[in-house]
């Protein structure tokens, strides 16, 4: 099946190597999308979009490489596949990771530089209301758990900031967030991503 044969409901793949992928599945389906867990190259076929969830970025990329997914995912996103990356997913996408592990390989597609766990350890997790550009209504509840800190931005649009640092950015059909929208009951960001995925590149 190719994307030209799709139904009127977006088919969103959720990378399921490890991390908070089940929560994204729940949010996407509540937002009206169909979902598919992505664990092998064949799972990329026919997708309208893909989510790179939170988790542990080094483990995630090592597992992707082990099952032969790293390069196919890179090429799919480079080819215009709509992408939502949260927390560790942002690290995986980032062009520069200032404190990455020596063996860490990322996708290098998003023109930002990040510092892993820049907002502190698990015990320093917090929630803060965020004003997100283009999102009408109340502020969005930003849940920060071992979140990356964006230290540099290049050719990206900053959608939200926290204490002067970008926490939501967009580059073409990639949206990347330092925080975890899937851990809230607010579906607005997932609904916006489903709309982006349905818009033909």
pLDDT digit string, tens, across residues 52-108: 999 888 889 999 999 999 999 999 999 999 999 999 999 999 999 987 665 667 899
Q: Which residues are catalytic?
A: 87, 180, 182
Length of the chain: 201
Nearest to 10 by CA among 63, 65, 84, 67: 84
pLDDT on residue 116? 81
Phi, psi dihedral angles at 76 (to 5 degrees): -65, -45
Selected from 3.20.20.60, 3.40.50.880, 3.40.50.2300, 3.40.640.10, the CATH number assigned to the domain covering 3-198 reads 3.40.50.880
Q: What angle do CA 175, 152, 187 make, to 5 degrees?
A: 25
Looking at the DSSP assignment, which residues form a beta bridge with residue 97? 114
Q: What is the DSSP letter of 65?
A: H
pLDDT on residue 119? 66
């Amino acid at each position: 099946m190719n994307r030209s044969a799709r139904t009127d409901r977006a088919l969103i793949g959720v990378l399921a190597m490890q991390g908070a992928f089940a929560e994204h599945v729940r949010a996407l389906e509540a937002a009206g999308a169909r979902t598919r867990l992505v664990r092998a190259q064949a799972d990329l076929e026919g997708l309208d979009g893909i989510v790179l969830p939170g988790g542990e970025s080094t483990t995630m990329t090592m597992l992707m490489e082990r099952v032969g997914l790293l390069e196919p995912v890179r090429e799919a996103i480079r080819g215009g596949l709509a992408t939502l990356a949260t927390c560790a997913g942002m690290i995986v996408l980032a062009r520069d990771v200032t404190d990455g592990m020596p063996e860490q390989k990322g996708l290098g597609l998003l023109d930002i530089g990040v510092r892993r766990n820049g907002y502190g350890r698990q015990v320093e997790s917090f929630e803060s209301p965020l004003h997100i550009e283009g999102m009408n209504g109340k502020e969005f509840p930003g849940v920060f758990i071992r979140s990356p800190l964006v230290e540099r931005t290049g050719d990206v649009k900053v959608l939200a900031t926290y204490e002067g640092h970008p926490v939501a950015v967009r580059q073409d059909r990639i949206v990347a967030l330092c925080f975890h929208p899937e851990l809230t009951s607010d579906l607005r960001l997932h609904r916006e991503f489903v709309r982006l995925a349905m818009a033909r590149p």
